[in-house]
Amino acid sequence: MAGELILIIEDEETIARLLQLYLGQAGYRTLVASDGITGLEMHARERPHVVLLDLMLPGLDGLEVCKRIRSWANTPLLMLTARQSEEDRILGLELGADDYITKPFSPREVVSRVRAVLRRAGQGDANGETPPGGASPASGSAGEVLRYPGLVVTIPARRVEVEGRAVELTPKEFDLLVLMAHTPDRVFTREMLLNRVWGYDYLGDGRTVDVHIGTLRKKIEHDPGNPRFIKTIWRVGYKFMVPSSVEG
């Protein structure tokens, strides 16, 4: 898996150099942009396999960079954030970031996260998109369609319909939905979801899962506060439920 291109969008030169050093030692190629506009230009031109994105950037901030990248590509994107910016972290995840890493961080942890997101991406095209007809590792066999009252998930096309209306999900939202919908009534802990969807053994924060479940509910549930499909199991995790009928 060595040789993939990692785009680092980080204005602190010391941090950028440290990431370059460790990622280079792990066999990855790196590019560095010190501001958001340059980062977007590099992304469009170079088509990196992973983006490491600082939230606090001069000019165009990381949240806007994340939003713009997500408007044209599904490149795995890890945010680099300060511990005190809880609201920014949540907003970044809602905008489509795959996960976040809080500063100060271990460079070895960053390398582990990069390896994990590359495994989950399945080495699709250099833009981080799933090849046509391909399924996520969490998605089951190709060609499968999951049908439940009011919900249809077409896995190869990564398409979701709620009562006949197409809804757009981020890659992680889709993978979470498919993983749980394959086995209704099975309870998944946050650690299990991190391992199966994000691809690492609880290196991340369980809040990442909670935010993605929240945004997924907003898109597929009539009432996210009283969900029909994705139920919270108190102090444990989540499970997918099959509704008995479609609500009017």
Length of the chain: 248
159 three-state secondary structure? strand
DSSP state of 158: T
5-121: CATH superfamily: Response regulator (3.40.50.2300)
Cα distances (angstroms) measured from residue 13 to each of 19, 124, 162: 10, 31, 46
- Predicted confidence (pLDDT) per residue in 102-128, tens digit: 888 889 989 988 988 888 766 433 343
As a whole number, mean pLDDT of residues 52-70 equals 92
Domain-wise residue ranges, the chain: 5-121, 145-240
pLDDT-derived band at 64 (thresholds 50, 70, 90) equals very high
For residue 94, what pLDDT is reported?
83
- DSSP conformation class of 120: H
Q: How far apart are CA 68 and CA 39, in angstroms?
A: 11
- Architecture (CATH level 2) of domain 145-240: Orthogonal Bundle (1.10)
More confident residue, 202 or 177: 177
Yes or no: say if 211 and 93 are a contact pair by the CB < 8 Å rule.
yes
Judge if pTM exceeds 0.75: no
